[in-house]
Amino acid sequence: MADQIRMALTEKDCCLAADSPTNQIFLSLNEAQLARLSEHVVMGFGEKHGEDETVMHIATSWTTQEADVARLIAVL
């Protein structure tokens, strides 16, 4: 599941903050991207990097559903 999300982020030119082969994805978002994504996804605060960059953390687990991954990818 994480690989599907990771691939979609790469295809949509989103910046990955770290190259992690695990179920954890760290992405770097500018303020506009963060605001747009926040309209569709409930997120906690990530880590601020500079004035216009926030690193967010996405994690999948054994309970992550295909439908949830598809909804996330649709709003990226």
Ordered by start, the domain boundaries in the chain are 2-75
pLDDT tens digits, one per residue of 33-42: 888 888 998 8
Under-50 pLDDT residues of the chain: none
DSSP string, 21-72: -SSEEEEEE-HHHHHHHHTTS-----EE-SSS-EEEEEE--TT--HHHHHHH
Model pTM score: 0.83
CATH superfamily of 2-75: Aspartate Aminotransferase, domain 1 (3.90.1150.10)
DSSP one-letter code for 17: S
